[in-house]
Structures are given as structure tokens and as C-alpha cells.
A = this chain, B = another copy of it.
């Protein structure tokens, strides 16, 4: 294997870090530091995490809860964990109602008829076979819609055109996603017959972004779709002509709330040699939206955490604590797997010594932040010194939260580790048909996996109480 510049620099610098960091008070022993050094070399040169994503996207593909793809994904995950040498592998059932995406036909019918690329928001109702046609009323933001008089909205199709900002931190998402989650409900309360919005996404592709929408009032549900960015631009350009713009929308999506579908959290462990009941929890979500092949959301998270455990499982001896990989079910439709996990594991939550998830895409990790008890901070300092050679800066605020699913777990008092990647490209792809294997950057994924491997090994070996006193 030809070493990349990334690999070479990491190996040199990690050698330095694991050699130099050797005070009397260090958490890892000299032998453990040597083992960590070896493990870092392995994770920084292996393509195992990429191979896992390749396998998942090629052999399974899209896997929304309740679909055949999800069933195949669960079997795939169990088989893969077993093949990778996990000590224990099992599934825990998660239930949901059935939602079928169907198709969307959208078009401007006046003043200038043109087809529009749109996608149903997750769990939207349909329009019925005949579709709906109405004048468009345009709001720049959800706040503008909220402030509008119902007389402007009644009988109309509401269009919210707010465009998500493209930022390294990904923070544009938080400002944009409210319209997706609540927009249809707000519009419906004011009498709208349909809700269309600019996709929560940052690329100019004719691929609209899906994602969950929520109905606040079950009596007033209206169909909700996202337009691609270029289609939202086109609609705005027609609106600028100051003539009424008519819109036709046919959505064949179906919420079958009397039908229960089953998914599963898939869980695998590398069992601890000294304190097997103590759990270092690594999460990702197994489900994806039913578009794309779920490569970046969250196939590469699946690849990272499975490869992390597998690398550690290849050591001569199991670390002291158990490393538990949790592949959550139904994250996309409302963190269903995490909610079920909290129910199923309430009694042993106190034994989860620290937790981290990966559900934020395809860039290199550039920052870390823990959330641990004060006396454990020197241990995190030491961990930070091992990660610094991989380009990971240390945010000492000690207010980290688990990502997505694991956020619910760490909100219950489980200590957290949060790693922040370069999120610039993530929302170009997220929740679209473009979420495919070619978007994964192997070198970035290698860095991500190396970071998780160092973290997991450290947490599993460190004789440190990370949990805050109650």
C-alpha cells in the first residue's frame, strides 16, 4: 500500500505523542501506549471502514425503516459483525408505522408552465390521485409565514424559499430545518392546501432533499414537498413577474398509521477483559432515507464504528472495558432506535462509561470536545495529545453532546465525546439521491476511523471515572 501524506505525517507525529506523553500521572501505561501506537498505524493505513461502506451500499443500498432494504441491512449488519470477530452480536426490535413515499408530480401551470423537481418530505400525506392546484403564496422564511395573516394563506399553496447557508460547521442546517419540520403545520393552521419549500441543502443540483416533517395537528395535514435549489430559483423568477403563479402538486405518499413495521437496533460487542459490564458506546445509524444508498448518511458512520471495534478486536488481548457498537434503527424518522435503546437499557445506563456517535458526514475531524466529570479532565487532556497529530484540536469547554441518537443517551447523564468534522460538503448531499459511495473520501474516512479507534481504545483502557457524580 502506498502511504498517503496523511498517513505518513500521522504515523510520525503519533509516535512522537505516544513517546513524549509519559509523565508519572499518565493514564495509559507504557505498554498500552505502545499498543495504541500500533493500533494507530493499523487504523491509519487500513481501508476496512471504506470496505464496510462499499459492502453496505453495494449489497444493500437504501434502507428506510419498514422497507425490504432495512430488513436486508439488519441481516447484513449481523453477518458483518460476526465476520469481523465481534464477541456478541444481537438485535433489538424497534417498531414504527408504515410510510410509503410514492411519487411526486409538481409543475408550475401558469404563467409559464414548467415541470418542477420535488420530493415528498418524510411522512408527508399525499394529495390523492387528482392532485391539487392553487395559487402560490411566497414567504422568504418560516418566521414570515408564522407572522402572516391567515387571509393571505387560506386556500393557497405556501412556498418558503429560505436558502440554507453553506458553512464548515454545518450550522446553516439548524436555521433552515425548522421550515421542513414545522412549515406544513404552520401553513395548514392558516388554511393552506399544500406546502412547498426550498430544499434544506446547499448544492445546485436538481435533486431535492427529503427529511422528516411533523404534523402538529392530526386534523390538519397537508402534503409537504421540497424543491431542488434550481427549481426554487425558477419559481422565484416566475413570481418576480408579478403575475399569479399557479402550482400543481400530486403526491402519492401514504401514511399507513394502522400498519406497524419493524426495524432493529443491531448491537455488537468486543467484550471487556477486566470490567466487561462497563461499556464504551460507539454509535451510528443503520437506517437511511429511501433515496441514495445511504453512503454518507450514515453508511460511513457504520463503517467507522464497526472498523474501530474490529481493529481493537484484533489486538492480542481485549481491553479492560467492553466496546459496544450500536447501529441504531429509524434515526431518520425520529431517533426511534435511540428512544427504544433508552427503554431497553435503562437499568444499565449507569454502566455506559462514555459514548460517541458518528452521524455527520464526510470531512476530516478537526475538533473534539468531551463532557465528563471534572476529575476526568486530565485523562481527556491525555487523549487530546494522542489525537492532536491527526489534526484534531481540543475544545476544552467540556460541554460536548453525543451526535443524533447518542445525544438522547448522553442527555441521560452518560459522559459524551463529540468529534467535529469539516461539514462544508455534507449538506450538498444529505437526504438526496446523491448520497452514494463516490462521495466518500477514503482518506478522510481513514482519519475519522483512526480518531475513533484511538478514542475507543483509550476509553476502554483508562482506569478513570468519566461520569459526573449525581
Name A residues whose Cβ lies closer than 8 Å to a Cβ of B: 54, 57-62, 68, 112-115, 117, 204-207, 229-230, 233-234, 237-238, 241, 292-293, 432-434, 436-439
Contact = CB atoms under 8 A, between A and B. Distances in A.
A434 B204 CA distance: 8
Nearest to A203: B205
Contacts of A60: 112
A439 B237 CA distance: 15
Contacts of A115: 61-62
Given A114-B293, A205-B207, A207-B205, A437 B230 contact: yes
A58 B439 contact: no
A383 to B, nearest CB: 36
Contacts of A439: 204
Contacts of A241: 58
Contacts of A59: 112
A436 B112 contact: no
Contacts of A117: 433
A292 B229 CA distance: 13
Contacts of A62: 114-115
Contacts of A434: 204-206, 230
A58 B112 contact: yes
A439 B363 CA distance: 25
Contact of A58 (B61, B205, B234, B436): B234
B437 A234 contact: yes
A234 B53 CA distance: 12
Given A233-B436, A237-B437, 20 more contacts: A58-B112, A58-B238, A58-B241, A60-B112, A61-B115, A61-B234, A62-B114, A204-B434, A204-B436, A205-B205, A205-B207, A206-B432, A206-B434, A206-B436, A230-B434, A230-B437, A230-B438, A233-B437, A233-B438, A234-B436
A233 B59 CA distance: 13
A229 B438 contact: yes
Nearest to A204: B438
Nearest to A433: B206
A203 to B, nearest CB: 9
